[in-house]
Structure 1
Amino acid sequence: MQQETAYEGKDISGIIRISIDKDTKVSTLTIETNGKWALYSGSSVDNIDFSTPIAKHPEPEGQGYNRITLSSLSRRYYQLITDEGKATVAERHLPMAGGYNFRDLGGIKTKDGRFVRWGKIFRSDDLHKLTENDLNYLASIPLKSIVDFRGEEEQKFAPDKLPVSVVNEFKLPIDPGNVISLMGLTDLDSTQMDSIMMRMNILFVTDKDFIGYYKEFFKLLQQEKNLPLLFHCSAGKDRTGMGAALILYALGVDEQTIMEDYLASNVYLSDKYAKEIAMNPNLKSVLSVKKEFLQAGLDQIKTTHGSVEKFLETTLEVDIPAFRKQFLY
């Protein structure tokens, strides 16, 4: 395969949108441009076939709005090439019939104009109800390592289903059970629940054991043999949300973008917890995320360490330049 740069020229990543049906895995790609374009595809970013485009602008001119439907049960990556630039893209929200909050961290833009590598780091909620098609899709990545932040009881209640490609499973139980449990919370009002969620996020970055697990997590990420790697908890929003935020901070992503990525869990988890919230609206704070939750943890880091980057370097022992070289285009 001919090797091409992942991104070049003007940032054109915003002119292409991808959606994938979670059951059939059929992809719909929409390209909005009046200019000429060509779209190439591959099973990985390093394996895109540039010999023949899978689609291109209608001759003689582009039509402004172009829709392409593709069927594939495996993970695909695309490079869009126009007269203005090149962009490598994929669907960030993975199409899981048995999961909700599955995401590729790839494609997120950093403050210095670079992009997070696709297909290296994934985040999710629990893997307990994945279908056979889901597992085959994850195996096509191919997913190599799983990091499970859930506590022992959570793991027993909803054991992971793993794709055949997984060779490493790491248990790093960040279990704030003494701070939060659905049992006994039903009598609390939303303000009290918000306070509990903020306390929990502070605990993630102050508890000695939890810090140790996040430190181990970053060690695993920095070993190429463990990649591609997926990390998860039960909902993929709190422990996983903090983990994702720390990764993006280490890669030089601005805090607003980090917060937008964190809050996206509310969109992806809306169906998962709809019944519980309908039965008890006061549980919404526990089963969703708010900016204030993550901000409480980040502010605690800044108060204690001066900056999130300093916390990453001195406490979690992340080699930030090497980390960026590893995970950025």
Structure 2
Amino acid sequence: MKIDYAEAYVLDDGQTEVDIKTDEQNLPDYELYWTLDNDKYTKEKKYLLTSNKTQVCFQFSYSTVRPTYFILNFKKHEPLLFGYRILPVPGMYNLRDIGGYRTSAGMRIKWGQVYRSDYLHNLEPSGYTFVKNLGLRSIIDFRGAIEVKDTPDPVIDPAIHTFAFDPNAETAAIAGRAQNLDTGKDMKERAKEALAKGETGNDQMIRQQESFVDSPASIEAFSNTIKVTAQSKYLPSLQHCRGGKDRTGFGFMVLEGILGVPAELLVYDYMLTKRARVKKNARYYQKFLQQTGNKEVADYMYALFDTREEFITASITKIMREYGTIYQYATDKLGLTEAEYLNLRKSLLEKA
């Protein structure tokens, strides 16, 4: 039985939605349990329901202080552990566990080892406790020095190693200012100048994603990221930028690609930011319209803020065209060594 991944989401009405992605025509009956242990064989689990559907919803009170996991128990197959894809943390909207994705070679990324997110500046006290209980050993911040100075992350634990790896992504920084509703003269003029040249926000975002592949600052930032992540002493790790979309999105596309996650799942993982901030997106677009008084300018700004498939596929396509595989790109351009590759596989993958 092949399951590409299983994941859970918190719904607005207090329910939890469990989604199972599989090509199986008839999923066998399973029992669903929940647990606070990141262990599919744990005895500390509680029964929820029995089903054979690929999507089920149920009323559930998740832990507000530490991650909740779920277990699918099948009669004739190994149990499958998974968790919330977008972690419910007050003060953060895009904290995600990349666990569970199945690789082309039949392995699976472990849950609870690598997280991606928006910045931690707005973390609320209860969310602080949750993040601390992730047991992080490293935090990698892709933001620039000015961004970090203006909106610093709180110190979760002095023992956590913090790294600043800035790929010098000006467009992403501009999008961050848009997210702060900075629609002042500088922002408007940038948009008008670009529009006068026939450029859209979409064009700018695609150009940025392509530049991540080979710009010197990006190569240094993402090379350092891979080398840190390949060291088990820095795991579990949280990696973030401002919104957790573009700089973080490129970094995780590369990491997941090195591990063998197929391209369609790389795009899927990137696009989850859209789900994470669907309400925020609608609200902000209206703000852009109101504060600029110009639909073209608002559309331009919104494109920098939005999550679109063509952004991440632009960088994937460039890597595939010039290097053949993401692994080869990481080897040739980011300096990934064989030892680091083997360490990543050992630390982050398990049998599916």
| Distance in structure 1 (CA, Å) of the matches to 2:255 and 2:52 | 39
Matched, 1:37 2:28: no
2:256 to 228, 248, 255: 248
Matched, 1:217 2:243: no
Residues 132 and 30 (structure 1), Cα distance of their counterparts in 2 relative to 1, 3 Å cut: same
Aligned to 1:6: none
Q: Quick check: 2:171–2:204 contact (8 Å CA) kept in 1?
A: no
Q: Residues 232-288 of structure 1, C-alpha deviation per residue, up to 9 Å, x if partnerless?
A: 001111100000100110111111111111112112123344444222233121001
**AA at the equivalent of 2:36:** G
2:157 to 159, 164, 169: 164
| Distance in structure 2 (CA, Å) of the matches to 1:157 and 1:228 | 27
| Distance in structure 2 (CA, Å) of the matches to 1:265 and 1:149 | 17
Q: Quick check: 1:45–1:118 contact (8 Å CA) kept in 2?
A: no
**AA at the equivalent of 1:209:** A
1:114 to 73, 95, 107: 107
Residues 35 and 243 (structure 1), Cα distance of their counterparts in 2 relative to 1, 3 Å cut: same
1:306 to 310, 317, 324: 324
Residues 98 and 36 (structure 1), Cα distance of their counterparts in 2 relative to 1, 3 Å cut: closer
1:185 to 187, 190, 194: 190
Paired positions, count: 312
Q: Quick check: 1:20–1:95 contact (8 Å CA) kept in 2?
A: no
Aligned to 1:81: 73
2:346 to 319, 325, 328: 325
Matched, 1:295 2:316: no
Q: Residues 72-101 of structure 1, C-alpha deviation per residue, up to 9 Å, x if partnerless?
A: 221122322121421011101111221111
Higher helix share: 2
Helix, strand or coil at the partner of 2:10: strand
Q: Residues 102-137 of structure 1, C-alpha deviation per residue, up to 9 Å, x if partnerless?
A: 100101111223211100000011111011111111
Q: Quick check: 1:43–1:141 contact (8 Å CA) kept in 2?
A: no
Greater shift, 129-138 or 302-311, is seen at 302-311
Q: Quick check: 2:143–2:165 contact (8 Å CA) kept in 1?
A: yes
Identify unmatched segments of 5+ residues in structure 1.
1-8
Q: Quick check: 2:62–2:68 contact (8 Å CA) kept in 1?
A: no
**AA at the equivalent of 2:316:** L
Matched, 1:231 2:239: yes
RMSD: 3.0
| Distance in structure 2 (CA, Å) of the matches to 1:57 and 1:322 | 38
| Distance in structure 1 (CA, Å) of the matches to 2:144 and 2:58 | 44
Aligned to 2:333: 315
| Distance in structure 2 (CA, Å) of the matches to 1:179 and 1:41 | 38
Aligned to 2:278: 270
Greater shift, 75-84 or 175-184, is seen at 175-184
| Distance in structure 1 (CA, Å) of the matches to 2:131 and 2:173 | 31
Residues 270 and 165 (structure 1), Cα distance of their counterparts in 2 relative to 1, 3 Å cut: farther
The CA deviation at 1:69 is: 2.4
Q: Quick check: 2:128–2:156 contact (8 Å CA) kept in 1?
A: yes
| Distance in structure 1 (CA, Å) of the matches to 2:8 and 2:310 | 30
Q: Quick check: 2:285–2:302 contact (8 Å CA) kept in 1?
A: yes
**AA at the equivalent of 1:233:** C
Residues 281 and 82 (structure 1), Cα distance of their counterparts in 2 relative to 1, 3 Å cut: same
The CA deviation at 1:63 is: 9.5
| Distance in structure 1 (CA, Å) of the matches to 2:208 and 2:57 | 46
**AA at the equivalent of 1:90:** G
Q: Residues 181-236 of structure 1, C-alpha deviation per residue, up to 9 Å, x if partnerless?
A: 35233324495221111111122111112101111100100111111100000111
Q: Quick check: 1:57–1:63 contact (8 Å CA) kept in 2?
A: no
Matched-pair identity in %: 24
| Distance in structure 2 (CA, Å) of the matches to 1:179 and 1:96 | 23
| Distance in structure 1 (CA, Å) of the matches to 2:30 and 2:268 | 32
**AA at the equivalent of 1:43:** D
| Distance in structure 1 (CA, Å) of the matches to 2:12 and 2:136 | 20
Aligned to 1:138: 131
**AA at the equivalent of 1:327:** L
| Distance in structure 2 (CA, Å) of the matches to 1:240 and 1:229 | 13
Q: Quick check: 1:106–1:116 contact (8 Å CA) kept in 2?
A: yes
Q: Quick check: 1:233–1:239 contact (8 Å CA) kept in 2?
A: yes
Q: Residues 155-175 of structure 1, C-alpha deviation per residue, up to 9 Å, x if partnerless?
A: 112111242375111011122
**AA at the equivalent of 1:76:** T
The CA deviation at 1:144 is: 2.0
What are the equivalent positions in structure 2 for 1:191-206 lying under 5 Å apart?
A: 191-206=199-214
